[in-house]
Structure 1
Amino acid sequence: MKNPLLEKFKTSFSTVPFSIIKNKHFKPAFIEAINSAKKEIDSITNNKSVPTYNNTIEALEFSGQNLDTISRIFFNLNSAETNDEIQKIAQEVSPMLSEFANDITLNEHLFKRVQLIYDIKDELNLTPEQDMLLTNKYKGFVRNGANLNEDKKSELRIIDAELSKLKLKFGENVLAETNKFELHLTKKSQLKGLPDSAIEAAELTAKQKEKEGWVFTLDYPSYVPFMTYADDRELRKKMALAFGAKAFQNDKFDNQQIVLDLVNKRYKRATLLGYKSHSHFVLEERMAEKPENVITFLNDLLVKAKPAAKSEFNRLAEIAEKDGVSQLEKWDSAYYSEKLKKEIFNLEEEKLKPYFKLENAIDGVFQISNKLYDLNFEEIFTIDKYHEDVKTYKVTDTSGNYISILYADFFPRKGKRNGAWMTSFKGQWKKDNENSRPHISIVCNFTKPTTTKPSLLTFNEVTTLFHEFGHALHGMLANTTYPSLSGTNVYWDFVELPSQLLENWCYEKEALNLFARHFETNELIPMELIDKIKKSSNFLEGMHTLRQISFGILDMEWHSKNPAKIKNVKDFETATFKNTQLYPNVKENCMSTSFSHIFQGGYSSGYYSYKWAEVLDADAFAMFLENGIFDKETSEKFKCNVLEKGGTIKPMDLYISFRGKKPSNNALLKRAGLLK
């Protein structure tokens, strides 16, 4: 069988030829690519020449590139355009990939070659990037079992294969639960309070499902407006209970045992490698360095955020009491938050949406990227896509040099997991005098167009777009020699800096004036609305901060100790949330069973990094505010010292080279209104 995944892509910019790739191609391609990569590894291992940087470290770095390409394509599709067949293939190939990764790191002869070079690295006159690559390669072996005896190496292989399958199953269950639930309404009275846009979208969903009336789902563009505006408290409760019970219903999609298996196997793996816990293992390669530092950081924020959060919660309770609600529950949160926002700022999300047509917001982030980093974006229609909704762009600099390909996938659908993320189909590297440019993708779940209106974004969706685009810039502007050090291949608690930094432009008049225009009249967003957006930027910041801290603490509790004695996921979670809890506990709900960031994604022992990066981004944006949000010198410094450098230099050194000093918590606390 001819397999397009095993041939050189004969496409514009060597992009993925999605239209000719079928599901049946993946497994044979993985098998063939793994075998080819094994041969490359064997040729490095069995090289009779004296180990050198070039014939060992660089050779290792550039080995298995075809396997990497196939993996990127397949697992990106498994997140954005999956189906039963793809999920089945994922369960089959994940252990194979895990075994192959172990074949490398547990290869004693290969490790000896790497170790020989590492031991004399001070004599080699390496560049900082070469030194970082060598250090990473050496640590990669040590941290993945190179120094274990054969019995323990075998044990590690078994654990890694099991972990790869568990993570996949966790994600499949969450997606199945999201798709399974729908709220089907047939009476107009049940829609009271909902904006026309939400009603129209629900009517469209019902028609697509061949039903009368209106259908609301657990996809964010459907769920969030319902929880924010629906007057019917019982219906809000029904939606909230369904959302919070994902993979926590003792059925075939239940994740409780999977969570326990994951944390126990992660702990076992870490202790096998000589670490005290999974968190100790993970944080050794993070800016935070160790669990104690993360816990101190979160507790320090908790002390400052909790009084503000309690005060804000009491204000919401007062408003709810006017409606006869004696006890504020989780399903009241968004609803009364919106009422309070309207009372304080006279600002309604629905009044903002007409100014944030998706196409205009995309154009806005493009213009801002042009002003900051001299990038141009041209939509092109000659590139294959994995779904008709996807948009494709060629990115160039102001001199016309090709920088990147960008894929953008904005709307929810059945085979796509919830949330928003940035990924890549191809990384960036330099080899044989060529700077091979990246293919970057952003994936979101925004409000779909209806029959009468284009896609109009909530302000939260606008900041999400900017967030993911910040990650995309990190990927697109990558300019390093080695693929494993390129773009977003940085410490996990540094990766959120570019994304969270770009969100700041959403609140600035100078930036909003570039794109925030009424979709019908083309009128620029009024200054009074910009003022309200700015003033409301700290709205309920105490509660939001407390919520993020609680997730970070839950992550650390799962991963920084021996979890062997934990028998009940819900009981453990309830006890962990005790010090950060504002709303009454809901017995039918459990967060851990759908906490994809830490149990499916790469955030285990890393969820704190969102708040950690906020410290960096607030401090970094303070410099832009001092010099002007489009100041060329400042943006050039950020581009050259952070965005282009990837993981070639330690993050704090990169940050200091941009900012001239270490970051201070004060910028974040001041911005959040938590600093007295």
Structure 2
Amino acid sequence: MADNPVADNPVLADSGLPYDLPDFAAIGDDDFLPAYELALTAHLAEVEAIATDPAEPTFANTVAALEASGRLLARANGIFFNLEGADTNPQRAAIAQELAVRLTEHRNTIALDPRLFARIESVYERRDDLALAPPQRRLTERRYRDAVRAGAGLDADGQEQMRQISARLATLTTEFSQKLLEDTNASAVQVLDAADLDGLSAGEIAAAARAAQDRGLPGYLITLELPTSQASVAALTEPAVRQRVFQASVQRCARGGANDTRAMILEIVTLRARRARLLGYRDHADYVIAEETAPDPEAVAELLRELGQAAMAAVDRDLAAAEAAYGTPLNPSDVTYALALAQAGADDEASGQADPPGQKERSPRSPVEEFTAYCELDNVLNDGVFAAAGALYGLTFTPRPDLRGYHPDVRIWEVKTEAGEGIGLFLGDFYARPSKRGGAWMNSIVDQSRQLGSRPVIVNVLNLTEPEPGQPCLLTQDQLVTVFHEFGHAVHGLLSAVDYVSQSGTSVPRDFVEFPSQVNEMWALHPQVVSGYARHWRTGEPAPAELIEAVRAAGDVEPAHATVEYLAAAALDLAWHRLGPDEIPDDVLEFEAQALAAAGLAHPLIPPRYRSTYFNHVFGGGYSSAYYSYIWSEILDAETQQWFLAGGGLQRALGAAFAEAVLSVGDSVDPVAAHAGMLGRTARIEPLLRRRGLVTAGQQRPAAE
């Protein structure tokens, strides 16, 4: 029997495991490049057969055939890029650099093949006459637009420029993420005296000691989170330590040396602007937003301006109260601590227990802080997140300890419907480690597709602090919401029920993709959910009703500080990508300051959620010109929350309707039109403005288109 190189490679071989879960135990880093050699060659052969098919182009022999091609490559990508983000090492980083260029060249070879484009164009031009089902028509139109946007309609010189630009961008964006991870790890703040960690919990102090020990350092190490604001800065009572952590955060990748990203940023925005012009767009923002649900960049800019004006006024009021509680003028590193101090003082005053103000006197009595003791991770997962998904969608989650993940921390659950049908696997990778990039995200190792007969394997990746053995993993309110948020993405992937893989799950416009995950946040403190999981980690006693109500009240309106942080980052992203190729500045930080001032979001005490040099969403990920999508999606989210509440909240019938209209259809239909059909009208902006504390219930605003 002849050798079968595919079957011999554990990355590509049929694992024989449920839902085609990769056999991670059998896969070594040395297997990846050989797997890609096989997968790329196989995919090109499949495309060649489609391009040279002598039959007249049809949806089946061209568009659907392309959709079914490249399965080995998708398999390798699903495994490798999940690992590269969640558990990298020097070899994986080097492989990622090599693949960045090779995969881009591979996609260009296919997209710019004139024979293939002619077949796609033929089907596209005859789409009205081919009796295509709506998902088929949508897929045909997408394939055609993707080819044009890749340069298939350009002359030979234009196509060669596109190849060079896309290859260089792939290298730069990969390097950006790697440099940011390295610099974030290197910027951790060492503290020698335990007294300087006052304000942190016992678990956080233990984690800091463990982090220092792991690096062979004395004392404690405060590691950094991905955004500008650090949870430790909001808790530490010692101003000098807060200042050190804050400065370490805002100066990432901007201090010179190997990890400085400023030159990379300028090259990235230049190349993106050049590509946009080649394709006939004014700038990169115009190029990106043409494929989103927002009408154009100016509509996005107008939304950011409108929200920014209200948010800046609100934050000044909040900061005045915070400064009064703090007792002295604020520095930027004092802001989140002083805001927490003011909130705790307001809660104490409401209960008749006010303490005198003072820089080191914030007690852990705020309801949000007290509630942490009732939010143990496993309780939240099993009796909160999974229970809500069961009540809404009829799903059950059964632990599969017999299945192995890609890291010892990874846990696996099998997901079934209420009829007992298995629909996929959910993997949870919850704890931070130096090999994992910052933030929280959802990955799809295997996508759902009826055409391919595949069922989803979905991963949620978070960066929670791992507790000491025998101790609980207690979630802050922000972390609690993040767990529910990321699981919203997971449910979007798990409940997908489409024919074509490129329309599966979260494969929707970028400014729609956050909507289902934002909706899922509403269940974190819903009475029918919180009563199930909120038990004290030590005593098992349920959280007092008055505590839950206080926490819910605190979370009903987004803090103005967080709104300003977010809007500033979204405005910064848009400013970078509305530049033409002849408008690129010389100084990254100077441009950043000018852009924030022009947007009316340059607050002296509140830097953006991400500064340019560590804005991984934009310069290392897929959110360039689309970081606005969180607030754009939140318009739909806020309306949908009202729809759920008006219908009775956690109701199976409502979950079924939401799944049918949004979660199951992916991009097989126009997602915004499907949502409007569920509501019975177009979404309005008023619920969002009320949630953000930017408008009163009586004010009226026009509908958002």
Per the TM alignment, residue 244 of structure 1 is displaced from its structure 2 partner at its CA by 1.1
Q: Choose which of 362, 375, 380 in structure 2 pairs with 1:356.
A: 375
Aligned to 2:675: 655
**What SS is found at the alignment partner of 1:68?**
helix
Check whether the contact 1:408–1:443 (CA below 8 A) recurs between aligned residues.
yes
Of residues 295-304 and 217-226 in structure 1, the stretch that sits farther from structure 2 once superposed is 217-226
Q: Quick one: distance in 2 between partners of 1:282 and 1:183? A: 38
Aligned pair 1:68/2:74, yes or no? yes
Q: CA–CA distance in 1 between the matches of 2:300 and 2:143?
A: 26
Q: Deviations over 1:176-211 (max 9, x none)?
A: 011113322222332233332322222233333344
Residue in 1 aligned with 2:128? Answer: 122
Alignment partner of 1:444: what SS?
strand
Alignment of 1:562-581 (within 5 A): 562=580, 564-578=583-597, 579-581=600-602
| Aligned residue number for residue 250 of structure 1 | 256
Residue aligning to 1:409: 429
SS at 1:429 equivalent? coil
2:496 aligned with 1:475: no
Residue 424 of structure 1 corresponds to which residue in structure 2? 444
Compute the displacement of 1:309 (Å). 1.6
Residue number in structure 2 paired with 1:280: 286
Tell whether the 8 Å contact from 2:557 to 2:690 is kept in structure 1 after alignment. Answer: no
Q: Are 1:598 and 2:604 counterparts?
A: no
Q: Say whether the 8 Å CA contact 1:194–1:225 is kept in structure 2.
A: no
Map 1:525-540 to 2 at 5 A.
Answer: 525-538=543-556
- Equivalent residue number for residue 201 of structure 2: 195
Opposite residue 245 of structure 2, the aligned amino acid is: M
Task: Note the alpha carbon deviations across 1:467-487, whole angstroms, 9 max, x for none.
Answer: 000000000000000000010
Q: Structure 2 length normalisation: TM-score?
A: 0.92
Retained in 1: the 8 A contact 2:448–2:456? Answer: yes
Distance 1:338 1:601, change over 3 A: same
Distance 1:461 1:125 in 2: 48
Deviation string for 1:543-568 (max 9, x for gaps)?
22222111111011000121543100
**Would you say the 8 A contact 2:636–2:683 is kept in 1?**
yes
Distance 1:222 1:253, change over 3 A: closer
Residue 590 of structure 1 and its aligned partner are, at CA, apart by 8.1
Alignment of 1:540-551 (within 5 A): 541-551=559-569
Contact 1:18–1:384, Cα closer than 8 Å, also in 2: yes
Residues 508 and 671, structure 2, Cα contact 8 Å, conserved in 1: yes
Deviation at 1:221, TM superposition (A): 12
Q: Deviations over 1:451-494 (max 9, x none)?
A: 45211111110100000000000000000000000100001111
For 1:658, the aligned partner's letter is M
| Residue of structure 1 in register with 2:35 after alignment | 29
Shift of 1:139: 0.7
Question: How far apart, CA to CA, are the structure 2 residues paired with 1:221 and 1:348?
Answer: 24
Q: Is the 8 A contact 1:338 1:348 kept in 2?
A: no
Counterpart amino acid of residue 590 in structure 2: D
Partners of 2:94 and 2:110 in 1: CA distance: 26
- Percent identical among aligned pairs is 33
The answer to whether structure 1 residue 102 and structure 2 residue 104 are counterparts is: no
Q: Deviations over 1:603-631 (max 9, x none)?
A: 10101111111111010010111111112
Q: Secondary structure at the match of 2:431?
A: coil
Aligned to 1:431, the other structure's residue is in SS state: coil
Which of 542-551 and 477-486 deviates more? 542-551
For residue 441 of structure 1, what is the amino acid of its counterpart?
A: V
Alignment of 1:67-466 (within 5 A): 67-219=73-225, 224-320=230-326, 322=327, 325-326=328-329, 328-346=330-348, 347-363=366-382, 364-431=384-451, 434=453, 436-451=454-469, 453-466=471-484
Change (3 A) 1:302 1:263: same
Offset of 1:634 from its aligned partner?
1.8
Shift of 1:40: 0.4
**Alpha-carbon distance between aligned partners in 1 of 2:670 and 2:96, rounded to the nearest angstrom:** 34
Superposed displacement of residue 671, structure 1 = 2.2
Q: Distance in 2 between matches of 1:348 and 1:172?
A: 38
Q: 1:21, CA displacement in angstroms?
A: 1.0
Query: What amino acid does structure 1 have at the position aligned with 2:525?
Result: Y
CA distance in 2, matches of 1:223, 1:116: 52
Structure 2 equivalent of residue 610 of structure 1: 630
- Where does structure 2 lack aligned partners over 5 or more consecutive residues? 349-365, 697-705
What residue identity is the alignment partner of 1:240?
Answer: F
How far, CA to CA, are the matches of 1:558 and 1:663 in structure 2? 29
Residue number in structure 1 paired with 2:352: none
Q: Which amino acid aligns with 1:455?
A: C
Deviation at residue 245 of structure 1 after TM alignment: 1.2
**Pairwise CA RMSD:** 1.9
TM-superposition CA deviations, 1:490-543 (whole Å, max 9, x none): 011111111001111122222100111111111111111111112111466222
Asked whether the 8 Å contact 1:408–1:442 carries over to 2, the reply is yes
CA–CA separation in structure 1 for the residues paired with 2:638 and 2:498: 27
